[in-house]
A and B are shown apart, each in its own frame.
Chain A
């Protein structure tokens, strides 16, 4: 459980995180979404106490992170910025972290195997590819078998197999009752892994809702329709009160009416249709709408543009 209350962080004149309040609950995967530069990484650094909040506070299982006697057992974190000495091997990097809280050597070996770094564990971390670096970072995060796992952009640089693995890993960790908090700037990735979404833009909370609610609230319920008698159809649809936007290739995007209404109206007027598709806004589109132009909403349930 991560609880942020009025969390605010200024870097000089710039406000990176602005009065954020949210809970990240155990047992589900919570996606932390926002465009690049929206304050996700800063928020995660505040959770870990790497940066000190200007105002507000954030706790992990009821305590400030630094107050936990065995912090790596509380929170395992993968930060977006590289956090490895480039001259040290992956195995030694893990050992060094494990030793700070008496985590046995066997756990280090177990994680090296688990993340698939066995063949390169003695190579200097500075020589690692982005994907290998991510795997090492994930091994670090899981080292203390933590209650809370917090990963900043974990799929960055991973190959498709690695991305599949991360998705399974996150779901597995949540299923074990752990708190899983994962940031991404890619909505599509979150739609595949997350159960709940916390969306921020410019450091502020835009939405805090389940993925289903988020899509429902944000989706516009549009219909795509194409007809050789386009102008006649437009007249009929206008009569039904639909809003019409002409897309490429003679496609019409109609809002305010259902696909059934469009089909029935076309039949009643003897108009030929070549295509008729109900179009639910994807999570990606919902996200784009939300974060476009600094719209600010307390909850996804609020009115959408």
Chain B
């Protein structure tokens, strides 16, 4: 314990967006909850399709006649993994508020917005980079199990590549949307509740509406719009793949923009 700091000249450094990205990258990997959530997301994304395909394969007689879509078991895991991604996306911000870390963060980066951009970008890229190989493994593993019954899709089947890669893209957008939710709500329980409400509570609620209303509204909800990209067949109740995905990206950017306004306006 001595009281002699090193000279200032060696340390001159400005805050840049790239440096804040680097800091947020380190933040993401130096907290246990992140490692666990992402590990769980990978396991779910790969494990569920293998399990589902194996079960389907062993009860093949029941599935043969039901208009079976081999892509359903392949991507079921990624749909469950969105829980882990969404919760972690909220936590990336709200954990800073609950622990007080946000004060250190905003003292280091008092312009504030670079922190939000960095969090969203880092988490979205990490999600996509981890989830893309996971859904690819899930697809090829499940299809090879199902191929025993000649009920699998090849990679070249129309729409398959777009749907499989789209599943990873979908999760990356969930990441951005939930980082935004965290910034808006700033509270872990509230943020997770909002995420669950948007993705899991709102869609079934639409069923109480008259069918025509339901059909008119449901495709435009964030979850269903986003999932248009991972569906092979589209009808009047679903949006076209890229239209739906573009709308989903729009929701995510809106969420991030509202989060940015809250971050700038509110006291930390």
Bound CA–CA A45/B266 (angstroms):
13
Q: Nearest Cβ in chain A — how far from B160, in angstroms?
A: 40
Chain B 100-113, CB-CB to A under 8 Å as 1, else 0, gives 11111111111110
Q: Check if A110 is an interface residue, CB within 8 A of chain B.
A: yes
- A37-80 CB contacts (< 8 Å) to partner B: 45, 48-52, 65-66, 68-73, 77, 79
Interface pair B11/A107, CB less than 8 Å apart: yes
**Contact stretch, chosen from A24-32, A87-95, A234-242, A246-254:** A87-95
Q: With A81-B100, A88-B31, A115-B1 as given contacts, are A69 and B8 in contact (CB-CB < 8 Å)?
A: no
Residues on the B chain within 8 Å of A110, using CB: 6
Residues on the A chain within 8 Å of B11, using CB: 73, 103-104, 107, 144-145
Residues on the B chain within 8 Å of A79, using CB: 103, 107
Residues on the A chain within 8 Å of B4, using CB: 172
- In chain B, what residue has the closest Cβ to A85? B101
- In chain B, what residue has the closest Cβ to A94? B104
**Contact stretch, chosen from B12-20, B74-82, B144-152:** B12-20
Q: With A50-B268, A70-B13 as given contacts, are A100 and B100 in contact (CB-CB < 8 Å)?
A: no
Q: With A73-B8, A87-B31, A100-B108 as given contacts, are A82 and B14 in contact (CB-CB < 8 Å)?
A: no
Residues on the B chain within 8 Å of A228, using CB: none
Q: Check if B22 is an interface residue, CB within 8 A of chain A.
A: yes
Q: Nearest Cβ in chain A — how far from B264, in angstroms?
A: 10
- In chain B, what residue has the closest Cβ to A77? B107
Interface pair A145/B7, CB less than 8 Å apart: yes
Query: Is the interface on chain B under 10, 10 to 19, 20 to 34, or 35 or more residues?
Result: 35 or more
Within 8 Å by CB of B108, from A71, A92, A107, lies A71
Q: Check if A295 is an interface residue, CB within 8 A of chain B.
A: no
Chain B 217-241, CB-CB to A under 8 Å as 1, else 0, gives 0000000000000000000000000
Interface pair A88/B30, CB less than 8 Å apart: yes
Residues on the B chain within 8 Å of A302, using CB: none
Question: Which residues of A does B touch, CB under 8 Å?
Answer: 45, 48-52, 65-66, 68-73, 77, 79, 81-89, 92-93, 95-97, 99-104, 107, 110, 114-116, 126, 140, 142, 144-145, 147, 165, 168-169, 172-173
Question: Which residues of B does A touch, CB under 8 Å?
Answer: 1-8, 10-16, 19-20, 22-23, 26-27, 30-33, 95-96, 99-112, 267-268
CB-defined A-B contacts under 8 Å, sample of 21: A50-B103, A50-B106, A73-B11, A73-B12, A73-B13, A79-B103, A81-B100, A82-B99, A84-B99, A85-B95, A85-B99, A96-B30, A99-B22, A99-B23, A101-B13, A102-B14, A103-B11, A107-B6, A114-B1, A145-B11, A165-B3
